[in-house]
Amino acid sequence: MTILSALTRPLSRGLVASVLLCNLAFTVQAAEIQVGFSPEGSAEQLVLNVIQRARQQIRLMAYSFTSPSVVKALVQAKRRGVDVQVVVDAHGNDNRASRAAMNLLANAQIPVRTNAAYKIQHDKVIITDGQNVETGSFNYSASAAKANSENAVVMWGVPAVASVYLEHWQSRWVQGQPYQPTY
């Protein structure tokens, strides 16, 4: 099996997994778990699939945010009527490529905040529709997709896990400052 074919093959159906989040241990019934890797390409495809499948809400939290394909997918989601909000690390996104990505989102009426409350806001998470969570080492950047060894994991149909991640996302959102586009 190739890594790309693993993208569409669930690791487990009906998997019962113990999850440790925020010092909180609980068991969840996951409808499906998928994994992807870079630079082979399946991590980025998995991230894009998560965004494309969202119907109501996307909450993204990123350390490095420069990926043109992720920006495009988020703007397309917004145009489909999906409520999209993004919070990124302030320090890791103080560069031309990140500002260009954030400008495109802000100019598409997608709220973006930068969080400087930590030395590094190193989270890489997408929560969709209050049900699904994508996380892993994959930064939403061109280098993560093309040059770095990265991983992404998606847990589909896990509202209990999504709820904990949404609380974490919300705490970082509140700490952030609204991004003001530079053009």
The structure's pTM equals 0.86
59: exposed, middle or buried (Cβ count in 10 Å: 0-12, 13-18, 19+): buried
Q: Where are the beta strands (DSSP E) in 63-172?
A: 83-89, 112-115, 125-128, 132-136, 150-156
Report all structural domains of the chain as residue ranges with CATH numbers, in order of start: 32-178 (3.30.870.10)
pLDDT tens per residue, range 102-139: 999 999 999 999 999 999 999 999 999 999 999 999 99
CA 125 to chain centre: 4
Q: Which residues of 104-143 are buried (b: 16+ CB within 10 A; e: fewer)?
A: bbbebebebbbbeeeeebebbbbbbbebbbbbbbbbbbbe
